[in-house]
Structure 1
């Protein structure tokens, strides 16, 4: 719809090198942008602009007359300045045009303004008032970009050619795109700050088009965006710390230029332009407007640097606008984020996706208090309030901003698409790939397809087939089961479970199941009580040693759980399990029973009470299975287990307590640390099957929570504590080495430690040939480094670890060094 479009490249007339971060503007409309690190730019306007202005530090100003409406691939050369420095007094600030960089930040005219911003550092202004409420409108849009004539003629789109009538052009990147998904939501938000902060967010209306039932697209879009505050020193994008343009240490990362003053709605503002000192770091380019009186940000634009080192992401653009009420109160009025993403390669012309998020806020009220009980989110249910049933007239009146012509056509276009069989087949293939399940009949899915084939020394080749019910992504109940067969032991295995949820607010649910299978015990300290789960070690394809320390288990589980508070779950499990060695001649787990006789078959009946907290975690869907968004939320779990002798022929009374803490931490500009801490104690002497085994890993794969240089059952304890730290530097070191920076490899450092002890009572009970060694004299540790982000283009899922064992080197068959390989598709 734009009338004027211009793209091109700005270079130094003498050196022919790109001129980075030059201002390119239309003086009539006021639209502007800045060049990328390679000198490239794109700009468009809906006005009849006929002049293009280019202004760069240390270069002569240039003005170009535009002859056509569309001017692509312009080549613009700038001449370096040779004049002396010039200074101009402007509204109390000195604006300087210089031919050299400032010797230190205090000489920069932008510095005293930044100091005032830091001194009055604002947090969300809504946090400074007693109470507030407002209306929020959110629009999420997903587009396919870099659409060209070759794509429109591709046979893949046979019978779907009508979709290309909706092609548009991005006003930020200039790329042609095809709208594919649109979701609109209206919320009513209520909050209070005293005596404690409470907030309630009611979904008033929701409208979605395109992939409505496809859980992958919608959830992926929502998961891309995280809340951030520009006044913080670091901004979280894709769980990576980007340096905020307002950061206190910004002068060590950015160049700042005080370029102008202007009036907006009767108030005066400084314009400060910024761009990174170094390429390839997690930084932005752009500008912001600062009020001269309050020193608060009125508007800010942020665009990621050209060579951003984030997988699948070519560009990030953010624009925020604020309403400044007074020195202490300001609030957002609009936010727009554009993510330019690509699957295989980040080249500008490669096919990719745009993910847009527009949020606007209005109708602020600050004098309407509510009692604490009002802020309980369970007071409002969007699924019974008609939020998903609003008609077109409602949306035409309620939207904060009118849809563009192409946006408005998405609903009709995608409704038509869903009538095309070829399109539905493509969508189904994507669903199968993402979920691992294939819908074969009505609400029956088969899978998990990724668990179909396994191998171990007891079963040999193992084939597995499973199925589940799946009516919708918000099912309140689920049935699932599987059967498996081992071609070496010639035995069938099975498992089945049923789960029912009665209340979507407190998530009160019950469930139960049973299974008979062969598993590798002792590879997880805080074990799962589920029926459908299975140990990695008993299904791995390739291992380092003999995979023969397996156990036959028959397990029945009944559970109930409830969330009395948000993200806090209380769960009670009742378990009945029999355990015996899968191959007693190789792996003997016999023990002395209460009659003093040797017993090879263990019967255990227990109750387990768990409290699990996930503060800050975010979920999509309200059904019994939820999709968790990627956040920095911790996992905190406390579990107490009580064994009952004599109940269903159970053979032992015991008490066990366990604790788990896991959390990712963003560490400034140095990357991310993933920390896992576990501890536990069993208060009575127990057979091997009920003891706590330091989790080993005899496979070549990387398995979270395990020790790569420890064999299965090498360390056995009844009291333990483990600590695992993985630090992802995200290229902080490698990016300083030119060759490695070009390869986009990223470095990882890690350390794993375990302490434990085993009581004499436990030693006296067991009769296994296993050496019952606990790491009590010394804390066992292993360490190493890894290289991740290995692959090609944007597809870089591989990681290789080099692991060294720190002590207990004299243990039989101790592995002093090992290499493990893993996969992870992350940004």
Structure 2
């Protein structure tokens, strides 16, 4: 009996094995990628099935699919809303790779026009798509990352920047004959065109932590690899930060998403139903949970809005599982010809969907169609996502971003193990290519030319000569003015820095000049963040009263030479300065300094007071003061070259506080005083209503001082528009020993002009500004009440041209149109009061060169 059972078991085992083997041998497995034939972009959630069966699969966010069966089906059916259904022959019982290109139907969803004669007009009321999106909005708080008590994950991201849409003729030019190894080819219908020239690549790998209570984030940068440029124009870390600002993280749960310098309204923002049209275009029941495909288009094609699709879970949580966003060709954003965002979400341990992968692609160019441009891509991949795993407080101590010492020296094996995106593995040749390019003499010459154009300096060995835009200028005092200067670079020393210039006026026949020496304590550079240096300098030059005191080195240039009204009151200033600058990684800094300033009147300006009703002339005013400048700019980002820094304006405020103490008798100082000034700069984003740049400033001077040491409010007598000056105020028109000012510059981003037929094609933008100044003089500092003080200047007719503010504030405002030819802003400025002062204008037209995205 036992033997019979054993034999039966063996026979059964063999039969099961043979049956399984036969089934495996006859299994049909089809896999591949499905893309749009028009632009080669991956299409998510395409339905793939064996024709005549119920066996189906869906593509993922990258357009990839896999489907299998043991049945002998010989045709694969591919269908998707808005695309033509296609059929493909397959061989039963084999594994095959089948990459498929789908063609769009003759009419895209975004191109559908609803006519009231044929169909009912689009309405939010009673629209099931709008009701669905409102449910998504209601559930945002429970679906976003911040709803968890704690989150941790690893993040890998790569970012690439390339010249794009290059023709064969351009590629084969003599200039690029030596650079053919740099070019990559792609399908001509893809964004960026057939030929692209990669010029930058950066990869990073980090460990990220988030805690809800108390709220805190921590990013530990474990690895950072990027292309290195060895020239004075580009700072390698800074260029990565700048590109990252352009290709910022995309959080669809935020009401607004910022790209470059523009704010796009999210399709699931609270106000989205007001600005978007929504349509339910598909129901996906093969996914767990089931999904609803929700398509959307902007009501106004010129507005900063997306079009695309989002996939909403049908499990009562109304979470976004996947999203595809893109901009239309008519959107009012400069130089961006196309922009696409793909987002993929996965479930965490609590059943919530977290962002597991995002891909952003932007095509920049001067023209809307065709022509050379720039292509930028950024992919973020998240793995090991853990929810509600509490970490000790020690993890969150210190700065929110910590870069480990070995981050930039990781081995190739480390990167091979941590590149979480397969596409990035194909791009690593860019590092080798750019290293080779950097060694080529022709490329170095090209970067020298770029440095001259954008920075104004030409490098000669270990020094730089410039800036070229100040070589020639003119004014009423000096006439024709020549200036020549230069500075050392990090090639000379990373500790010691020297800067100098010499200038000569052919009318006043006087030499001017500047000389400074600095020592960097961080052995990096006096320009590198965080700064730590001491500097001593001497300067003798011409100033406009009220302007020179605000600038360490006034950058005279040819364009600023053209001014309106009378411009014949000047100062010869001698400055002796010593400064110690210390900056910290949290963007707090202090500058401790000493300055001796000797002011000698020039032109028609005189220093005179009255003693016993008799005018007494004074040759010069000398002040000696210690100062402390405090600055705090939380989360500040900037583009920093090797010898300059350009702040990137964001939503975070910048705080400044300055205190100066004048000491009589110290190095010839003639006055005792205290001068305190503070300011707050803040950008406010207002979604579809644009953005406002606001500055609130105030100051107070305690002590008796002559008018050259008072706050001489910044005026502008040029024909260019200046954001932080009073554009219809004359030089030295108003002085104060206490004041408060408010400056608002609002950009509507085409809110009104985008709605006007024909005009909207120009993609113009509206501006409105307000400038208010309230202040005054105490009796002890008012020359009109104390004849012993230096008297206010007078014009050629003997009429005083300098005043203190009365009970009313000085107010001016403007309305402007920007983005003219993409680079010009034109403002009509109106001055509202103090209209009886001599030599003033009630209205003025001012222009400004202003590059905007």
Band of TM-score, shorter chain: 0.7 to 0.9
Which range moves more in the overlay, 426-435 or 314-323?
426-435
**TM-score using structure 1 length:** 0.84
Q: Which residue of 1 aligns with 2:769?
A: 750
* Residue of 842, 846, 849 corresponding to 1:816: 842
1:395 aligns with 2:415: yes
Report what 2:291 is aligned to: 269
Change (3 A) 1:701 1:211: same
SS in 1 for 2:715: coil
How much has 1:501 moved relative to structure 2?
Answer: 3.8
Any residues of structure 2 matched to 1:209-608 within 5 Å, and which? Answer: 209=227, 211=229, 213=231, 214-215=234-235, 218-262=240-284, 266-293=288-315, 294-325=317-348, 330-342=353-365, 344-346=366-368, 348-365=369-386, 366-367=388-389, 369-372=391-394, 375-377=397-399, 382=404, 385-403=405-423, 406-441=426-461, 443-471=462-490, 478-503=497-522, 507-523=531-547, 528=550, 531-534=552-555, 540-563=560-583, 566-583=586-603, 586-591=604-609, 598-608=617-627
Q: Following the alignment from structure 1 to structure 2, what is the Cα–Cα distance between the partners of residues 755 and 773?
A: 13
Structure 1 vs Structure 2 CA RMSD:
3.8
Q: Deviations over 1:757-788 (max 9, x none)?
A: 12222212123434342222322212221111
Query: Offset at 1:710?
Result: 0.9
Task: Give the aligned partner of residue 85 of structure 1.
Answer: none
Q: Is residue 2:852 matched to residue 1:826?
A: yes
Q: Describe the SS at the equivalent of 1:804.
A: strand
Offset at residue 669 of structure 1 (A): 1.1
Q: 1:476 to 1:731 in 2, by over 3 A?
A: farther
Are the counterparts in 2 of residues 523 and 697 from structure 1 also a CA contact under 8 Å? no
1:252 Cα offset (Å): 2.0
Separation in structure 1 between the aligned mates of residue 504 and residue 141 of structure 2, nearest angstrom: 63
Contact 1:135–1:188 (CA<8 Å) still a contact in 2?
Answer: yes
Aligned equivalent of 2:19: none
Instruction: Determine whether 1:788 maps to 2:806.
Output: no
> Is the Cα–Cα contact under 8 Å of residues 139 and 182 in structure 1 kept in the other structure?
no
CA distance 1:23–1:139, shift in 2 (3 Å): closer
State the distance in 2 between where 1:540 and 1:160 align.
Answer: 41
Partners of 1:437 and 1:678 in 2: how far apart? Answer: 34
- Going from structure 1 to structure 2, the CA distance change for 1:254 and 1:768 (only over 3 Å counts) comes to closer
What is the SS of the residue equivalent to 2:607?
coil
Structure 1 residue 459: Cα displacement: 1.2
Deviation at 1:505, TM superposition (A): 8.1
Of stretches 264-273 and 812-821 in structure 1, the one that deviates more from structure 2 is 264-273
Instruction: Give yes or no for contact 1:199–1:375 (8 Å, CA) kept in 2.
Output: no
Note the C-alpha offset of 1:129. Answer: 4.1
Shift of 1:78: 6.2
> 1:104-183 alignment to 2 at 5 Å?
104-122=123-141, 125-164=144-183, 166-169=184-187, 173=191, 175-183=193-201
1:190 Cα deviation from its structure 2 partner? 4.3
Structure 2 counterpart SS, 1:714:
coil
**Rounded Cα–Cα distance in structure 1 between residues aligned with 2:443 and 2:584:** 43
How far is the alpha carbon of 1:688 from its aligned partner?
1.6
TM-score by length of 2: 0.81
Aligned equivalents of 2:76, 2:573: Cα separation in 1: 78
Q: Secondary structure at the match of 1:777?
A: coil
Change (3 A) 1:479 1:122: farther
Distance 1:72-1:591 versus aligned 2 partners, 3 A rule: farther
Measured at CA, do residues 247 and 3 of structure 1 come closer, stay the same or move farther in structure 2, by a change above 3 Å? closer
Tell me the distance in 2 between the aligned counterparts of 1:79 and 1:644: 74
Verify the 8 A CA contact 1:313 1:340 in the aligned structure 2.
yes
Counterpart CA distance in 2 for 1:79 and 1:353 is 27
Q: Distance in 2 between matches of 1:174 and 1:680?
A: 52
Task: Please state how far the C-alpha of 1:487 moved relative to its aligned partner.
Answer: 1.8
Q: Which has the larger radius of gyration?
A: 2
Change (3 A) 1:320 1:25: closer
Q: Residues of 2 paired with 1:5 and 1:281: CA distance?
A: 26
Contact 2:749-2:765 at 8 Å conserved across structures: yes
Q: CA deviation at 1:597?
A: 6.2
Give, in whole Å, the separation in 1 of the partners of 2:270 and 2:108.
Answer: 34
SS of equivalent to 1:280: coil
CA shift digits 1:454-486 (9 cap, x unpaired): 211111122222222222799566432222222
Deviation (angstroms), 1:716: 1.7
Q: State the secondary structure of the residue aligned to 2:154.
A: strand
Could you tell me how far 1:516 is from its partner in structure 2?
0.8
Q: In structure 2, how many angstroms separate the alpha carbons of the residues matched to 1:331 and 1:531?
A: 50
Q: Is the CA contact (8 Å cut-off) linking 2:34 and 2:100 kept in structure 1?
A: no
Contact 2:230 2:438 in 1 (8 A): no
Secondary structure of the equivalent of 1:377?
A: coil
Structural mapping, 1:688-727, within 5 Å? 688-727=707-746
CA contact (8 A) 1:496 1:531 kept: no
SS of residue paired to 1:786: strand
Q: SS of the residue aligned with 1:388?
A: helix
How many residues are aligned here?
Answer: 767
Contact 1:289/1:297 (CA < 8 Å) preserved in 2?
A: yes
Alignment of 1:679 with 2:698, yes or no, is yes
TM superposition shift of 1:26: 8.0
Alpha-carbon distance between aligned partners in 1 of 2:825 and 2:204, rounded to the nearest angstrom: 42
Distance 1:701 1:619, change over 3 A: closer
In structure 2, C-alpha distance between the alignment counterparts of 1:311 and 1:189, rounded to whole Å: 35
Q: Deviations over 1:372-419 (max 9, x none)?
A: 47531399554xx22222232221112112345751332233333334
Q: Retained in 2: the 8 A contact 1:496–1:532? A: no
